[in-house]
């Protein structure tokens, strides 16, 4: 992911096709390790594509994944509703415990004086 970010930063600086050394210099400037093999693999996979084309392709893929996730979400959306109903019951128990502990404390103090 950091290679992609460095590539996009280099392309924003005006380089149409950022090179290996451009990406390495950006990564090293922030103290990140620059793995030459991974950079070369990434550059080979984006060769001939502009950063604009890469971003458009990525946005299409994200919207496709979002649509698939939305289609599968009825099962997932019912789970939080059940979880939120259980949460107030737990809070009630905690409040009861606090009240009990306060009563115990008051009783203990009264025993000292009476």
The vertex-6 CA angle with 31 and 24, nearest 5°, equals 55
The answer to whether 51 and 8 are in contact (CB under 8 A) is yes
pTM of the model as a whole:
0.54
Q: Is the dihedral of CA 36, 42, 48, 54 positive or negative?
A: negative
Sequential pLDDT tens for the chain (114 residues): 899 999 989 988 888 888 999 999 999 999 998 889 999 999 999 988 888 888 899 899 999 888 888 888 765 555 555 555 555 555 555 555 555 555 555 555 555 565
Query: Cα separation of 18 and 84, whole Å?
Result: 49
Query: Cα separation of 108 and 29, whole Å?
Result: 64
């Amino acid at each position: 992911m950091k290679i992609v970010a460095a590539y996009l930063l280099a392309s924003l600086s005006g380089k149409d096709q950022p090179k290996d050394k451009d990406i390495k210099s950006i990564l090293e400037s922030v103290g990140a390790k620059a793995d030459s093999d991974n950079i070369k693999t990434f550059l080979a996979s984006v060769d001939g594509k502009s950063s604009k084309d890469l971003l458009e392709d990525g946005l299409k893929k994200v919207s496709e994944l979002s649509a698939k996730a939305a289609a599968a979400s009825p099962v997932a959306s019912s789970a939080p509703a059940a979880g939120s109903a259980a949460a107030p019951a737990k809070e009630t128990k905690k409040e009861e415990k606090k009240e009990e502990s306060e009563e115990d404390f008051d009783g203990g103090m009264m025993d000292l004086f009476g």
